[in-house]
Homo-oligomer: A and B are copies of this chain.
Amino acid sequence: MCRGAAVIDIRRHNANFCREHFLRLCRDQVSKAIRRFGMLQPGERVLVAVSGGKDSLALWDILVGLGYAADGFYLGLGIGDYSDESAGYAHRYAESRSLTLHTVDLPAAHGFDVPGGARAAKRAPCSACGLSKRHLFDEAARRGGYDALATGHNLDDEAAVLMGNTLRWQTEYLGRQLPVLEARDGFPRKVKPLVRLSERETAAYCILRGIDYVVEECPMAVGNKHLAYKAALNDIEVQSPGAKHDFYFGFLERASERFRAEVERDRGNLAPCERCGSPTDAGVCAFCRLTERATAEAERKGAIQLEVRKTPSEAVARATRERSKKERA
């Protein structure tokens, strides 16, 4: 029985923790996830996708503490002040710990920012952003020769994504929602070592470790469905502590593999993108197509605003929405 002053209570563990035991709990939970899912081997080189927020900075700090050779990668998304501010937190953390932080600036390197890319591709901002991040994180890990790419997705994130995938029974997404995706065909191994920690815990970890992080949510994400699913799960967690954990880990234990076979079967054959060399099943990869549309849009600005035709993927999405509405009638 520890006599230290409690700094946090965690209802799903039905326990209070002092500073030292809480920090140890966080490290132990990350260790446990890494071991359980075979995420990393001792001494491997890891690239951590760092946003400047609590999750990615806590992840980086814990991985370094556990002895992994972990460098950071910051991607500037061109979301106004929010991106500048986030970059500052990432850089200050790296400098204070003498860690290596690689950076890429989307507008400088590729000629468009997330708001512009979303407009040009007629995608939701979070969709254009996710596509850009996946592509550029993968590329950075591959070029740097890292063994794995680690992202700061926590239990709240994964449970909310799972809720979205389940509410729509998106069987392909369900089959791919795993804490580890093995390296294949030019994609690096991708791991989510924070899946056993909630966002309240990563925030507390940063505060107790003196890590400053950007507190604001991304302004582009306001009102998106992911946040609505988080709110719904928070309400359920209040009534049933542990509900999020059981939802996510119960899925991995008892349901995930029921959706996996068809994902393996339906996997397209990958070949290098004609423009950037990244693996793709579409000739030109989705990021290069986004870049093309976004930079063309940027050039057109100031000239006559042309009627932008619907993109094929948008037409499909619209048809799906219409069909869904009809089926309810």
Contact = CB atoms under 8 A, between A and B. Distances in A.
Interface stretch (A130-138, A243-251, A291-299): A243-251
21 contacts: A12-B325, A12-B328, A13-B325, A13-B328, A13-B329, A166-B166, A167-B243, A167-B246, A168-B246, A168-B250, A169-B246, A169-B250, A171-B254, A171-B255, A228-B240, A229-B236, A232-B232, A232-B236, A242-B325, A242-B328, A258-B258
Interface residues of A, number: 36
A249 B328 CA distance: 9
Contacts of A231: 235
Nearest to A229: B236
A269 interface: no
Contacts of A24: none
Q: Count identical subunits in the complex.
A: 2
Interface in A210-269: 225, 228-229, 231-233, 235-236, 239-240, 242-243, 245-247, 249-251, 253-255, 258-259
A201 to B, nearest CB: 12
Contacts of A169: 246-247, 250-251, 253-255
A327 interface: yes
A41 interface: no
